[in-house]
Chains A and B, each alone.
Chain A
């Protein structure tokens, strides 16, 4: 699964080289091709190992997490677009659901990766997560995550620093309320770091942009969102994993 993350990486990196010579349409085609190849690779790999029950479980969990990621990305991105936080090129908006098509795909993949990584990490560290393992808590966590996004998009703060600090506190509160595990914290931080980096790269290459960026090219609260998102998805992933184990 980390291979996927690397794929994404290589996508964004290689893209930076290509952008100069490729027109945007051509680039999209190229990007689609890459995406498709990733997906087919994953699918082939998955089909190859489908005979074992565990990998079927893994596939199912991954699929669920992917869908969750896609839906969350669509909804939350819509929120951001409405408030003119993120700006996409106009032709992108007309194509698909008012957000670029690759946003939900990327977010879904990332969600699947993170959500599968969490239980995996728990397993390897040998400390299974036992804190508040129930769907109600997971739902609560998701609601708080959406609420954090909502706040980031809709609340009018005096300045960006205040907003970022508030959101950081909220994210930490989310982690403390629903996770409380070292691995969760670490993985959340890693996710936030990587995702912010990717976002920086994307913005640097002009795929999209943020209004009033204050942290290099992006908004400074972006890491908080990614962190809480990682924790939330990890929560869901753990719950799914536990469900599967119980079965």
Chain B
């Protein structure tokens, strides 16, 4: 166990160091990894490309001997398939025949009728050739029946005999049939398949040359007929072949023929994969892609999901390539079909490690440095990674000992693949991950910076404005100030790209250019004979007709070999030789230019040497497959061709004519050729159009794939997944929100009604009327004496210390443990320091309060209200009141708190019973009817339902200087109550009272920057000066009661009314800056930032407006009942409440950043109250509980 532990520690430490290394030097490591990948893949270049194309190997004819079966080590240049005898030796006799000189009296059929007729005599010659009692019959490849499916070819292809094919096969090698055939072309073409064909056709097989080069057509320009007689030999007899060659050359000498005859080409064919065999393979690949898809979908919480997914796939693929490359390097040539085992290898290697790494890294604390995060993530998962790898290696090792060659080979590959995959994960993927994390943090940083400082941060995350994307047009109700708005409006990156594309029509242009280039390439590389065809059409001047053009050929015959010199040079035609035996070189050279019309010229060029190369590469396999002989994984040897030149006289051509041939020549028509050209152009156009359509469709598909479907709509898949009732997704993997964990504060028995906070203390009260005070002590910035004193001994351990005062019974209950603390802290901290460190206005107050505590630190507080009464009585300036207090306070708990404010350790609450109560931790001061109160420094403003406004001044005095509170005149419902403290006395003095501030009940009151702003049912907003309660402005503009007001220290005033309108006012002048309608129903809350206004309404819609122009940027649909709960944490971070969760939004883009669930069981409790504390914490109500959510990543990443 200890060994295991130590091992684990060592591994973890090693991974930690490795992670540090990777994250520190990303670029060199990536370069190094790429270099090693390339090095390992280098041996792959030697491997043949996958595919079924044949492979060739050339040997000399002279010293040819049948290769032995055993591989010879010394002949390293020999391919490994070159073993044993070939399936067959192919001997081709290439015949070029022409009627010359050409005569105008000849009809087009004469071009090929008599040349083709000569094939029979040649065949006779070849069949009867005997060399030292060896005939062709003994040597040739004997074939048996054709395959059963080819019965219609039975008449054409030879059976039960030598495999000897020639054009004569069309007529069963019988001259009489040929002579009796009225239409040769029809006979030839009747076997051609209709429609598109890619493999070898019967015409190709019999003629042995590509169909276009045969010259067997009515409108051949060159009038030279080319065909071959193909002989398949089963064994090679050099002397027989030589004698045959000599004999044929003697009979039909070919002048100026310089074909090389010393090379024999061996062609090796690979296994052909049929469609049926592909189906399982395709299935495997589909499963593989599904696996990859489902795996990479789990990558979450990173900057670029696609980038990381790509990196993961690249890791796996390149590890496979590396394994193949390494195996090849060490002499293990893969014999397995790579395509078949590949998916299984991927599955064995798997993407799991990559995902585990990502998950582990992103779930490390966000506030750490990137390096440390990577290192920690790595070391957290190191043990499981190593364990998995060891397990897999063991399994593969077991597989290796099955001693089945295929499995052994697979295992070998898998081992090398696993190791290289591990290497790549550790170096490549980790580094990519570190780069990604760093980018994400940079993006975060940019986003959090103030708008003027930060450039628009790249944020490719999906846009999630709930209702509309940032609008191209303002909504109809807005004031139209468009131009500057758009400059400020920062669109998400993808939208910007799309807009850019739309603006410049880039896609269309690219498609157009692509189509043009594609057509150009099509024309110039000439894959379909388009260019030659067009050239032929253009140069088509001859009056030859086009009848009999087979539709599927669609292409006119062209000049053989595509050799331009042969067509352009009008060479002197040789004299026709009536008998081939007589012809000689001298004869032909002596008679130039006899014929006025261009006579056919037979030329032999190097391209004739290996004319079979121009055939389809399936030519030979299909020929042999007719006889059920497979060439897969075998080879054939092709012997050098025997050239035969035939010159026929016109007389001979006329003699061999069939009577119908003369009827056959239709008049030439230029029109048809025009039509042909037009047809071609149409074809090209249609092709181009089709290609364009396909491209557009492809781009569209790509777009749909890359961009989520919920583009600009509800964030359906992601959002819904996030909003499921469990904070973890379906993989059981919860997004790493561990740093944002809600803290629940319990203490209320009923739903929480009001919340107040000053950043340090948190006060809440519930429907039951009890007020709770909790303390939120967050971070070093607030470690001022008051906080520390209140916090108790466990401040350093817990970020928050909750102190519940279920107001009445435990009113003093918490006090005893407070006192010693005050002592110690105040002993160590000088008051001056506390003042300077405090950022609050009430610093003096705090100080004062505690200084007053100081003199009596040892004094035990009374544990119960009766005791306090006693004390009061002892202080006793007010003998009237004490008996009255208990019933009054009892009555208090029945009335609910309507408003609450908190400053320092003073809590002011307004109750529905009309009382204003001020607590100083445990003080009840006074009470009156009120609706809304505002606590400013030492002044309390209370607004009442009857429209009056009261200004109180709070004073805290030494116990001796007890002041009595004087109730407002004319409000005789309650006698003035004094305020008591155990030690100090807080006195509330009504300084001023504005009796008729509003005509109708005041609904809302806010105070800031020396102004008090009240909103009322009478449709007006009034601004008062705090010092002298002087009404500065009465702002009119709403057509309904005022429901929400926002004012801050910068004198920004915004108000929202029941009419759904939002007005922005200038507090200095009282003028209305903007006026927008945004909500159906009341505006329930309003918040402003420097650039925008956020409003929420009864329609549960949160709208974000541009502050300067009043244009609605976007809106967010909230859940029912949670509309009013919103808060702004920083300049660009909005937090809203939902059903059992709070959501964080990026204000600039409307992106949902994160959703934090407040509890495991959200039984439909919505967050109705939400309060943002200064130190980036959020307090919200959650049923009867308070929830405190910290957002540390927001602020701490700022610096």
Contact = CB atoms under 8 A, between A and B. Distances in A.
Contact of A155 (B298, B347, B407): B407
A90 interface: no
Contact of B395 (A98, A157, A173): A173
A140 B348 CA distance: 9
Interface string A110-138: 00000000000000000000100111101
B343 A143 contact: yes
A162 B401 CA distance: 12
A139 B291 CA distance: 5
A133 B731 contact: yes
A99 to B, nearest CB: 11
Interface string A127-166: 0001001111011101110110011001111100010001
B124 interface: no
B450 interface: no
B724 interface: yes
B298 A136 contact: yes
Nearest to A239: B730
B280 A75 contact: yes
A172 B291 CA distance: 21
Interface string A232-245: 00000000001100
Contact of A134 (B280, B288, B294, B340): B294
A133 B395 CA distance: 23
A91 interface: no
B454 to A, nearest CB: 38
A144 B724 CA distance: 32
A157 B405 CA distance: 8
B350 interface: yes
Interface in B862-897: none
B277 interface: yes
B298 A147 contact: no
A150 B280 contact: yes
Nearest to A76: B280
Nearest to B296: A136
Contact of B404 (A75, A76, A147, A157): A157
Contacts of A130: 732
Given A134-B294, A139-B294, A142-B287, A147 B347 contact: yes
Contacts of A21: none
B283 A75 contact: yes
B1068 interface: no
Please classify how large the interface on chain B is, using the bins under 10, 10 to 19, 20 to 34, 35 or more: 20 to 34
B404 A150 contact: no
Nearest to B347: A143
Given A134-B298, A143-B288, A166 B280 contact: no
Interface in B768-806: none
Contacts of A158: 403-404
A242 B730 CA distance: 9
Nearest to A139: B291
A35 interface: no
B624 interface: no
B277 to A, nearest CB: 6
A143 to B, nearest CB: 4
Contacts of A142: 287
B324 interface: no
Interface in B339-369: 340, 343-344, 347, 350-352, 355
B632 interface: no
A246 interface: yes
Interface string A165-194: 010010001000000000000000000000
A246 B724 contact: yes
Contacts of B294: 134-136, 138-139
Contacts of A173: 395
Interface string B404-448: 111100000000000000000000000000000000000000000
Contacts of B284: 143, 146-147, 150
A78 interface: yes
Contacts of A71: 283
Nearest to B405: A156
B49 interface: no
Nearest to A166: B402
A136 B288 contact: no
A239 to B, nearest CB: 9
Contacts of B297: 136
B347 A166 contact: no
Interface string B274-285: 001101100110
A138 B291 CA distance: 8
B279 A134 contact: no
A139 B279 contact: no
A156 B404 CA distance: 8
Nearest to A158: B404
B290 interface: yes
Contacts of B406: 154-156
A63 to B, nearest CB: 18
B288 A246 contact: no
Contacts of A134: 294, 298, 730-732
Contacts of B724: 246
Nearest to A138: B294
A130 to B, nearest CB: 7
Interface string A64-105: 000000010001101100100000000000000010000000
B673 interface: no
B235 interface: no
Contacts of A156: 404-406
B291 A140 contact: yes
A135 B296 CA distance: 11
B727 to A, nearest CB: 13
Contacts of A169: 398
B306 to A, nearest CB: 17
Interface in B595-646: none
Given A82-B276, A246-B730, A162 B287 contact: no
B407 A166 contact: yes
B402 A162 contact: yes
B782 to A, nearest CB: 42
A189 to B, nearest CB: 22
A136 B295 contact: yes
Contact of B280 (A79, A133, A157, A242): A79
A159 to B, nearest CB: 11
B730 A143 contact: no
Contacts of A136: 291, 294-295, 297-298, 351-352, 355
Contact of B276 (A78, A139, A155, A243): A78
Interface string B284-309: 10011011001101100000000000
A162 B407 CA distance: 12
A151 B284 CA distance: 13
Contacts of A143: 284, 287-288, 291, 343-344, 347
B404 A82 contact: no
A167 B279 CA distance: 22
A75 B279 contact: yes
A188 to B, nearest CB: 19
A207 B398 CA distance: 38
A69 B351 CA distance: 26
B407 to A, nearest CB: 7
B350 A140 contact: yes
Interface in B554-613: none
Given A169-B398, A246-B730, 18 more contacts: A78-B276, A133-B730, A134-B294, A136-B295, A136-B297, A138-B294, A140-B347, A144-B347, A146-B280, A146-B287, A147-B284, A150-B284, A150-B340, A150-B344, A151-B407, A154-B340, A155-B407, A243-B730
5 contacts: A135-B294, A139-B294, A155-B406, A166-B402, A243-B730
Of all A-B residue pairs in the complex, the 5 with the closest CB atoms, nearest first, are: A139-B291, A136-B294, A135-B294, A136-B295, A143-B347
